[in-house]
Every structure is written in structure tokens, then in C-alpha cells.
A = this chain, B = another copy of it.
Amino acid sequence: MKTTLSGHKIGFVGLGKMGAPMARHLHEAGAEVVVWNRSKVAAETAVTRGMRRAATLPELALEIGDGVICVNLTTTEVVEQVVFGPGGLSDGWPTGGRTLVIDFGTTGVPETKRFAERVAWVDAPVSGGQVGAEAATLSIMAGGTAENFARARPILETVGKRVTHLGASGAGQVTKLANQLIVAQTIDAVAQALRLAELSGVDPALVRQALMGGFAESRILDLHGDRMVRRDFKAGGRAVLQLKDVRLICALAESVGLESATLKNCRAQWETFVHEKGGGELDHSGLFKIYE
């Protein structure tokens, strides 16, 4: 283990494909981990691994007190509801307390800034997928005050390999959206390139290998290009979540005045794939299918 967390009591809300292994790494680093999850099965699995389970969100917050609560949820709306909604964590916070929330999800930038005005908050979205979560090799893009980042750091370094503090609240989310913009557009580029080769009578598997040595080399060509060659679109990273991120990117771009025809086209591609081609539950590399 990279860091020992013994003596720490940490709350963890959201035990999905990413959250479950992250909570487990905190537990294995010696922390006392108290979990809550909407579906009971994942929470019960955590209990069999030695973590404790809170019956409700306010109870979890009460138990953690001035400590740290990690949330790993799918949308901005769910984050707001779980943290500040009725029956949410904030119902159990000590008055005048200094609970720190670490948000590992990809959450809207203006909302993140608002949340950070109500409670100590570190936005810490991740890249690296389920594989990175299992192996504790995630890249983590963090935003928040220096003090809050310092509190979050031992936890971030336990679940990730490369932890970068990008600036004030929301800076982590901005960086994650920059990441997702590149991912969304590179998947599209790799899909076109491999399909163009195939339609031209050249083996796409061979093309992918040849390209890995040159300027077109990328993690997407390596991993998602391989999925395209094998036509293996079992999720992985669901296309519907990629579309959610593309919408957040467009909202941020509009709010800061970034005009981009490419970004508009990118959104249209993902909307078409998810809503017209029924690709939402496939892996995002499945965007390849719009060229078949």
C-alpha cells in the first residue's frame, strides 16, 4: 500500500464499477470505511469485505462527523440530491462542522463552485476507467483550496497514481472535461480511420499496429482501437455517460465563450449514436458502429 490510512474514518457513497474498488483500496490501506449505496447488494458486498454500512445518508454523515466523505455518483443532479437534498448527507452534518466532501464523479463546473460555498469540497474526477480503479492507478484531477486539497491528498494518493492539484474549486472538473473532450473526439477519429482502412481493403488490425509507432499513437488507439478491431463493445465506459460529459463540455464552452464547430459536430455524433442508433449502453468505442 502506498499510504497508510489507519486511524482515518472515511465515508463512501456510491459503490458502482468505479466506487467499489476505490472504497476497497481505502479499507485495505487501514481506514475505517463506512459505506452507503442506493442498491443494497453493493453495500452488502462491502460489508462482507470488512467495511461498515450506514442505514441512511444522515446517519453516515453523523458517524463521520468532521471527517471526510467520498462520493462517486453518475450525474450532477444525483450529487446535489445525495449531499444537500432532503434525507441527504447535510441532514446529518454537525452544526458548524468541517466535514470534507471529495467528489470523484464528473460534475458540472458551476454547480461544483456552488457546492464548495456550502461545505468543504474537493472536486477530484478521475481518468483511467474501471481498470485504473481496480489497480489504484487512476489519474486524479483535483480542485479546491490548498487546505482542503491537503486534507484530501492521502485519500487521493491511495486510490490513484497521478494526482494533480489544478487550482480552485471546479478546476478539477474543468480538467476532466478537457480530458473527456479529447476522449470523445479521438474515439470518433480512430473509428473513422479504422473503418476507412477496412473499406479500402486494408486489415484494420494491421493498421492499428502500424500506427502505434507514429504521431497517431494514443491510449484510445491502443485500447479502444483494439475493441473496434475485435468488434467488442461490451461496456466498459458507457456511451450514455460519454454523452452526458459532452453535454457538460458544451455548457462550459458556451459559458466561457469558446466557439467550436468541431464541438457542435461532436455533440451531434454522440446524440445520434445514443438516441438514434441505440448505442447508449454500449462501450463508448461502439461509436464505430455509426460508420458501418
Contacts and interface: CB of A to CB of B under 8 A. Distances in A.
A263 interface: yes
A166 interface: yes
A117 to B, nearest CB: 17
Interface stretch (A61-69, A76-84, A90-98, A249-257): A249-257
Contacts of A33: none
A217 to B, nearest CB: 5
A223 B216 CA distance: 12
A219 B219 contact: no
A258 B215 contact: no
A150 interface: no
A188 B207 CA distance: 22
Contact of A178 (B126, B196, B253, B266): B196
A109 B202 CA distance: 12
Contact of A192 (B141, B194, B258): B258
A184 to B, nearest CB: 8
A29 to B, nearest CB: 20
B269 A262 contact: yes
B203 A167 contact: yes
A109 to B, nearest CB: 7
A176 B174 CA distance: 34
15 contacts: A162-B213, A162-B214, A164-B209, A170-B200, A171-B200, A174-B200, A175-B197, A175-B206, A179-B214, A179-B215, A182-B216, A186-B186, A215-B220, A262-B269, A265-B265
Given A182-B216, A186-B186, A218-B221, 8 more contacts: A128-B215, A166-B202, A174-B202, A175-B197, A189-B262, A196-B252, A199-B257, A215-B220
Q: What 4 pairs across the A-B complex have the smallest Cβ distances?
A: A127-B214, A218-B218, A139-B213, A162-B213
